[in-house]
Amino acid sequence: MAKQRKIQDYDPLYSFLRHYVDAMLKLSYRTIRYVGRERVPQDGAVIYAPNHTNALMDALVILAMDRKAKVFVARADIFRNKTLAKVFAFLKIMPIMRIRDGFDEVKKNHETIERAVDVLRDKVPFCIFPEGQHQAKYSSLPLSKGIFRIAFQAQELMPDMPLYIVPVGMRYGSFFRFRSTVRVEVGDPIDVRRFMAEHTDLTPQEQMNIMREELAVRMRDSIFHIPNDADYEAIYELCAAVVKQQAKSLEAESPKRLHRLDAHFRANKLTVEQLAAMRTEDPERAERLLQLGREAAAMRAERKINLNSVSVRYPILSRILKTLFVVGTCVYWLPVSILVLPMTALCAFLFTKLKDPAFRNSVRYMVNLLLWPLLVLIYAVIALVVLPWPWALGLILALIPAPIVAQDTWRLLRLAVSDFRLFAAKDLRQKYNEIRTTFFNR
């Protein structure tokens, strides 16, 4: 009898397709920056614990962190279709029940836990999003218990192998715009075996509660975290208003030049920390800033001004360069934008079916992944039929980057329009100047 295949076993087709999947992911973002990958332990089994903000893209970003295959879990209801269940199994995704599925359904997680332990015993990285659901916010949700049950049970069955829970924080430049940026930071891992040895006097439930709080803290340390309360939008607006000055200050203090995404990330975290301290030390000024943030956010939304226009480092030069680029390359991007219209139209149609806009980038990614190679093939056949082969070959090569060029150009066009709107909105610019003056004058 043939040995039953396990989800973590090597699959040559999966390994081959990974190259294409990872390449398309890199093309989906202008920049993907991984920070702290050296913190991932190499001497034992690893459970990745990322924050969850951008649907399918989160898993793809974690998968691309290195060339190792990884096993993921996803909500069990999407496995009800047998065909989809086979596809998910090929993609190394296992089902997990959530408490909202009902207590009886959650009991079925015993099988998932056993399979997860088997994955970890084979030293294949396992990934579970401990928040249990995604939200498109720079914040966090309470952690579910599933990751800790798996970790404790796995460690008990692997007493001679260390097991680590590795927090991972993902910070997207935009949750909804294609070709944005993403910064991924690996936090300090939790050594499960050491943790259990240091807390033998506690019940398993008490151990779980302590570890849950510790992981929540380490996850928050690796993300840009704004408390998810009534002041979230105002604080986010304030962060954008002062990010240039904050980043400049951090860069002046740094012994080496900071990567753009790192400077932006640290600047935003610093602003949130300073606002939290201000609420205690100078509550009047803090409330004044929050009110200014609310007013600025409302004015900006009413005038359809992108927040990037507020936080961009060199606004005047940026406006000029964006305009010159859009005008100078129109002979290329206008034709290719027409050629990618089938993809644009399909995405627009699928967006109307989405209840959650956080899936937009996932939809765009899948459409590019599956449809663009087919369109290139169709256009190539047409070109070879109607044109001499040297011209046809040149046209085909020019077509390959078409979706990326079209997306980037229209993004720059939107930002250029937004920049000019901000330039024309004198009262809004004065509002941001008032925010900066109030924030930095102590």
Could you tell me the mean pLDDT of each successive run of 10 residues in the chain, 442 residues long?
A: 75 93 94 96 94 92 93 82 83 74 58 85 92 91 90 89 96 92 96 94 92 96 93 96 93 88 95 95 95 96 92 69 80 89 94 90 93 94 92 90 89 87 93 95 73
Report the pLDDT value the prediction gives residue 1, as an integer from 0 to 100: 43
Report the pLDDT value the prediction gives residue 333, as an integer from 0 to 100: 87
Rounded CA-CA distance 365/371 in Å is 10
Tokens, residue 364: 């765009």
Please give the C-alpha separations between residue 67 and each of 14, 22, 35, 312, 368, in angstroms, as whole numbers.
Answer: 12, 9, 16, 34, 22
Asked if residues 121 and 157 have their Cβ atoms less than 8 Å apart, the reply is yes
* Helical (H) or strand (E) element with 175: none
Architecture of domain 12-221: 3-Layer(aba) Sandwich (3.40)
Sequence ranges of the domains in the chain: 12-221, 232-303, 319-424
Tokens, residue 427: 């009262």
Report the pLDDT value the prediction gives residue 4, as an integer from 0 to 100: 72
Rounded CA-CA distance 84/79 in Å is 6
Report the pLDDT value the prediction gives residue 383, as an integer from 0 to 100: 93
Between helix 402-424 and helix 426-440 the angle, nearest 10°, is: 80
Report the pLDDT value the prediction gives residue 22, as an integer from 0 to 100: 94
